[in-house]
Amino acid sequence: MRRLLNLVPPGTIAVGAGLGLLGLASYVHLAVAGHSLTKADYSSLSVLWSIVFTLGIGLFLPVEQEVARIVAARRTQGLPPGPVLARGTALATAVLALMVVVILAAHRLLADRLFGGDGAMVWVLVGSLVGMAVAYATRGVLSGLQLFPWYGGQLGVDGGLRIVLVALLGLAGVTSPVWYGAVLVAAPLISVVATLPPVLRAVGGGLPVAWPALLRGLGLLTASSLLSQVVVNVGVINARVLAPSDEATAGALLSALVLVRIPLFVFASLQASLLPGLATSAATGDHTAFHGLLRRALGVVTALGLLGALGAVLLGPWLVGALFDAPDVLGHADFAWLAVATLAYLWAMVLGQALLALDRHRAQAVAWAVGVAALVVATLAPLSVALRVEIGYTVGSVVVVAAMALLLRRRRPSTPTPTPTLATAASGASGGSG
């Protein structure tokens, strides 16, 4: 066992356990809600879920990554992390404040178009984004200081609380989507409080960190993060916008997407060692090692994607009904489209890591932007709502892969880049299933 543990990066077990519990919580959360809510209310919760994880991961994960990177670098120099936490908190607060202003300004429009007129769901959306902002800012410090048991503990507490809270709601017979949405507010905030001691110890000390050190590359990283979440999550939102009266499709699509994206959770553990390995090969100019690792990673995710696709296509229509009580509106062909899209998305995640290892943040952002544009065009096709969403997800993911492959061929690995920490590499791979 000790020999096996030596083969994985430090902290893998702690972070992996936390991610596993958080992933399980997503399924339990949606399963209990699916069996407790009406089709209309589950549709509203599905849209809330998609917006929260699109914006939350897209906007605040890059803050975590940059905070972790700078804290880790300062740690090697014996410098305190407090100034980085202060800057990171200020940045996350500014981004959050901007989002809250926009959401509240569009409160009535969002309530009517996305939540069936329920304005309380808009406030739940705001609270959920607050929870994610606080969680990601503190995780950056925990990751940068290599406090992986605390980092994994925060993920685990978040996931465990979600399971307990939704179970209590289900046992109590609660039938309001507001309460099931409120779990996304309470769980992350409580998990932050539970893992606050090492963060508080990091407060204060040292000279302020210059803003350029934190902001350098953050814009491109945020663009890539946000656009990648749009590709994987926007389908549920599109379904509600394209057909407001179709209460069944949005909820069924979220249930199906959560099911077909199981390989993304497995990929999270692989990603933790993939990016550092690629970055090391790129920094040393070892082209053979770089391309060999890239090919092996693509082979592994291909096997994961095909295995997941087989199960989803054969059992998906039955599983979403049994697990989530989803409406019977999706067939085997729908799951085939979603499975193909997820396989392409896995390829894009691997190729994106290769671009990051080469310090080509702009190229990665361009590829995701092109993919989102292709998704928008495909979604406008005159087809059924579900098929438009499925084809949009597939086309968007495939175009991202093609763009990244072309961009990678234009330049051989030779540029050194800072190696990211384990926790931030792993935490971005959930594909919005949070």
Q: What percent of the chain has pLDDT over 90?
A: 43
* 220 pLDDT more than 70: yes
In order, the DSSP letters of 371-386 are HHHHHHHHHTSSS-HH
Residues 6+ apart with CB under 8 A from 218: 62, 63, 66
Q: How confident is the model at residue 7 (pLDDT cuts 50, 70, 90)?
A: very low
Q: What is the pLDDT of residue 64?
A: 85
| pLDDT tens column, 394-423 | 999 999 999 999 999 876 544 444 555 555
CA distance 210 to 74: 13
* 134 pLDDT more than 70: yes
How high does pLDDT run on average in the chain? 85
Residues 6+ apart with CB under 8 A from 308: 260, 262, 263, 339, 342, 343
Q: How confident is the model at residue 427 (pLDDT cuts 50, 70, 90)?
A: low
Answer with the residue of higher pLDDT: 393 or 211: 393
**Region 226-237 average pLDDT:** 89
CA distance 165 to 330: 29
Tokens of 176: 């309001």
**Region 21-41 average pLDDT:** 91
* 280 pLDDT more than 80: no
Tokens of 98: 């901007």
* 426 pLDDT more than 90: no
| pLDDT tens column, 294-342 | 998 899 889 989 998 999 999 989 988 888 888 888 999 999 999 999 9
